Chains A and B, each alone.
Chain A
């Protein structure tokens, strides 16, 4: 290849000499002579086979400039300039150009307004998009986490206990109250009476049992089915009245077994929590429960404070975790006063006890009580009786309380989830509250499976027995 002109295009001198332009393997391009002492760029000696000839051009001896004849064409036969057409280039100034001309206003102000309106529309579209899917994302952690539990931190823990679930009785109210927990996605422990007054065995009300089973399947981990005594009759005057306290061990055991039998038939998985009627129980109850593989007992704090002589909201004693209710939704003091007044009035009129007549604490008392427990990083156990939620206002009060609690950083569990969680390490007290491996029921099941596997691995020959124990423990 050669590109040697006859005259220098710079100084028009005719004294030109040929010069080879070479490229070294390192990429350096220079006249051939420059490579004589090695490559200036890579500082290597250069052999001929490392050089690629790019072109031979002219070097003007007068002005020392490089010259090629590439552009020094014969002007007489200069090629015609090609016709150049430019494509339509996007303009950066007028970003409304894509609108049909008739929609673009003439005045500058109107155009600016249009642009601004466009920005507002875009902005609203973007924000609306994000906000509209937010509810789906909020429920996402629970759904997704169902695969793998994650630690959540809370300032306090709230447990709800709905007592006196029984055959035939106020089923609509039961459903209304449960619906609040379903809507708010808050777990609750149901205290189920197996045979109210010895007259209403659960198994006689298949509708109730089917309903309870549907709760277990449709809302896993949200409804705990706990045994609430046997007949719920005040058999002794232990701490006022009691179905279990002060009864001999054998009798307690019999009542417990009879109750278990009915509950087992009615629900899929009865829990390992026992809720003694009238919130009272004695040490015999605890040892009977322990023998029967119960893990938790939930009475009343007014009772445990006196009987166990302490004021811990939850504690361990006799091999059981004691999680007494700390707050009643109903105002029982007012109710008693009301009854007394009625007695004093000595009315001849029928004095049938009216469920709606049991007054509730006002919302403020309930929220204050929660706030106090929340501030103290405590476990707050709210007890209520579904049968008194006879009006919309009463149901709404429960809803408002739950929502108030949800506004704070508080964790909701069933009584069993809390007690088992503490035992298995999936619920931990921290310096400034609690941390819970959630979803709690999944975490606990995983722990139990692991424990079962560990037991199997131990190969003590009793693996099956251990597994059965655990299953029973879980199943309770």
Chain B
């Protein structure tokens, strides 16, 4: 028979087989959860006033046009990159607000605006996060599979008073599945006053691969910069001295470098291991649905904004090019990632997993987040030019606008909403408030379930979903507002040396004696013997704003 005649049949059969294979590879549980999350949204659409729907649809359209245009100018037509950028978006959104007020779709009041903003953000964030998570899960977890040859690697472990912790970190690195001759571990003792140095030195004495260097106390950034002088690897991996690295983590974290020359830094997935209290379980749920998945979304554009200090990797020459770490923010991991991104490199995420010990009390969490959020605001303000300079591509067009909304609008909106809810309760609409709470909890619950299914997390975490709507969320919003005010009202304190702003807080009587005035990064832990979780796990954990609003 004429082969030309057979071809379509064969192609058809192949297609059918291909389609069947595709169907078999679909992860149906995720599909079910993803689709089920549509139900509450659909119900919400049903009760919303048509004007609100039009307003949302119009803003959705505006954002889609913006995203589409951004893709076009970044990928295809850089000559237009200054056209309809972040400023254009700001103008467009302002015009949009004017238009919907003029059309009568929105009452000209702060409450109405926040209400609309909240609804839109619920749509955008949850759909963004849920969709990307879902998509990631369906198409395969990571683009980068680890394969030899593995590059020369230097792991830097900055440590200040990490007695009892640093040995575990070093041991987990020695246990890691990575070619022995390609791995070098440098522990940097940042002038510890306990036996951190001796503990690490024992490993140095026992293993050729481990070395310990010590210096006068100066903060984490300083320890990392100092450690770099002794690093010989082409890839620099930084690990917090209280983190436990997964055996596969090193292989996974170097994989993207081999695959793409433009990648300057690679982030990891942070998992909390001490899930024995309400506070830590809330944090794990926060990481699961907010941080880890949200970061995967930005990964598509190569603009992951934070390489967590718990575990992150950089090309040596890229770190040198940006002069490594700066002293002027409290979140050196976010800061250095911004510097790498601004130097034009992509920052990607890998499947490398690191276990960290989360603050186990509200007070510890408060202190940790105080530093993170202040650091976040300081870093954003430091890199403000990225907001206005269109040459930064996706970073300028996508990552920063989202981030600014998260950091500058949402925490305040949360309180307008809270005041509105208080008013509703005072006016006797308790049932309505209850209904709204149950409704948004349902949404968060289903999204969390999707995140848990995808990340292979513990289903019991779902119990804490209501706290992400009320309680835990407001705690973070309040902290964000406080930190923003702190940073804005005391710039001279924060700007010269990171340590200073911490000192202002740490100077309170309950904080204890500050051993080293310069120890910006480690002061948070001076009352304890270790520096815990001093690094940002990734995207601002506040990224997932949910629907208590």
Chain B: CB-nearest residue to A120: B32
Interchain nearest-CB distance for B501 vs A (Å): 16
Docked-complex contact A90 and B222, CB < 8 angstroms: no
Interchain nearest-CB distance for B393 vs A (Å): 25
Docked-complex contact A23 and B218, CB < 8 angstroms: yes
Contacts of B107 in A (CB 8 A): 148, 150
Which chain A residues (135-176) contact chain B, with CB distance < 8 Å? 136-138, 140-141, 143-144, 147-148, 150-153
Interface string of B432-464 (1 = CB under 8 A from A): 101110110111011001001101111110100
Contacts of A71 in B (CB 8 A): 201, 204-205, 210-213
Docked-complex contact A126 and B36, CB < 8 angstroms: yes
Query: Which of B36, B168, B455 is the one whose CB lies under 8 Å from A127?
Result: B36
Stretch at the interface among A111-119, A191-199, A318-326: A111-119
Docked-complex contact B431 and A136, CB < 8 angstroms: yes
Interface string of A1-37 (1 = CB under 8 A from B): 1010000010000000000010101111111000000
- A1-B435 contact in complex given A27-B327, A130-B39, C-beta closer than 8 Å: no
Query: Which of A79, A120, A126, A153 is the one whose CB lies under 8 Å from B442?
Result: A126
- A27-B221 contact in complex given A68-B213, A70-B201, A71-B204, C-beta closer than 8 Å: yes
A162 and B389 CA atoms in complex are apart in Å by 68
Interchain nearest-CB distance for A27 vs B (Å): 4
Interchain nearest-CB distance for A443 vs B (Å): 13
Chain A: CB-nearest residue to B327: A27
Chain A: CB-nearest residue to B40: A130
**Interface membership of B229, Cβ < 8 A:** yes
Which chain B residues (30-89) contact chain A, with CB distance < 8 Å? 32-33, 36-37, 39-40, 43, 46-47, 49-51
**Interface membership of B348, Cβ < 8 A:** no
Stretch at the interface among B8-16, B269-277, B471-479, B484-492: B269-277
Contacts of B228 in A (CB 8 A): 29
**Interface membership of A86, Cβ < 8 A:** yes
Docked-complex contact A136 and B434, CB < 8 angstroms: yes
Query: Which of A79, A90, A125, A127 is the one whose CB lies under 8 Å from B201?
Result: A79
Docked-complex contact B229 and A21, CB < 8 angstroms: yes
Among B213, B427, B431, residue most surrounded by chain A Cβ atoms (within 10 Å): B213
- A153-B328 contact in complex given A90-B458, A118-B459, A130-B443, C-beta closer than 8 Å: no
Contacts of A132 in B (CB 8 A): 438
Query: Which of B205, B431, B432 is the one whose CB lies under 8 Å from A75?
Result: B205
Docked-complex contact B49 and A152, CB < 8 angstroms: yes
Chain B: CB-nearest residue to A139: B432
A125 and B33 CA atoms in complex are apart in Å by 11
**Interface membership of A376, Cβ < 8 A:** no
**Interface membership of B549, Cβ < 8 A:** no
A423 and B269 CA atoms in complex are apart in Å by 64
**Interface membership of B424, Cβ < 8 A:** yes
Among A27, A125, A136, A151, residue most surrounded by chain B Cβ atoms (within 10 Å): A27
Docked-complex contact A29 and B211, CB < 8 angstroms: no
Docked-complex contact B229 and A123, CB < 8 angstroms: no
Which chain A residues (208-259) contact chain B, with CB distance < 8 Å? none
Interface string of B205-244 (1 = CB under 8 A from A): 1100011111110100110011011100000000000001
Among A23, A70, A78, residue most surrounded by chain B Cβ atoms (within 10 Å): A70
Contacts of A147 in B (CB 8 A): 427
**Interface membership of A98, Cβ < 8 A:** yes
A23 and B167 CA atoms in complex are apart in Å by 28
- A54-B39 contact in complex given A71-B210, A82-B199, C-beta closer than 8 Å: no
Please report the total number of B residues contacting A with Cβ < 8 Å: 84
Chain B: CB-nearest residue to A27: B327
A68 and B229 CA atoms in complex are apart in Å by 11
Interchain nearest-CB distance for A69 vs B (Å): 10
**Interface membership of B251, Cβ < 8 A:** no
**Which secondary structure dominates where chain B touches chain A?**
helix
Contacts of B294 in A (CB 8 A): none
**Interface membership of B429, Cβ < 8 A:** yes
Docked-complex contact A55 and B202, CB < 8 angstroms: no
Chain B: CB-nearest residue to A42: B323
**Interface membership of B355, Cβ < 8 A:** yes
Contacts of A31 in B (CB 8 A): 229
**Which secondary structure dominates where chain A touches chain B?**
mixed
Chain A: CB-nearest residue to B225: A29
A453 and B272 CA atoms in complex are apart in Å by 62
**Interface membership of B126, Cβ < 8 A:** no
Docked-complex contact A23 and B222, CB < 8 angstroms: yes
**Interface membership of B507, Cβ < 8 A:** no
Docked-complex contact B456 and A95, CB < 8 angstroms: yes
Contacts of A126 in B (CB 8 A): 36-37, 40, 442-443, 445-446, 449
Interchain nearest-CB distance for A377 vs B (Å): 15
**Interface membership of B257, Cβ < 8 A:** no
A147 and B112 CA atoms in complex are apart in Å by 13
Query: Which of A79, A93, A98 is the one whose CB lies under 8 Å from B198?
Result: A79
Query: Which of A28, A129, A134, A136 is the one whose CB lies under 8 Å from B432?
Result: A136
20 contacts between A and B (CB under 8 A): A3-B214, A23-B225, A40-B323, A55-B213, A55-B214, A55-B226, A70-B197, A79-B202, A87-B244, A88-B273, A90-B272, A93-B456, A95-B456, A122-B449, A129-B439, A133-B435, A136-B434, A140-B436, A141-B49, A144-B424
Binding site for B on A (CB under 8 A): 1, 3, 9, 21, 23, 25-31, 40-41, 52-55, 57, 66, 68, 70-71, 73, 75, 78-82, 84-90, 92-93, 95, 98, 115-116, 118-120, 122-123, 125-127, 129-134, 136-138, 140-141, 143-144, 147-148, 150-153, 409, 435
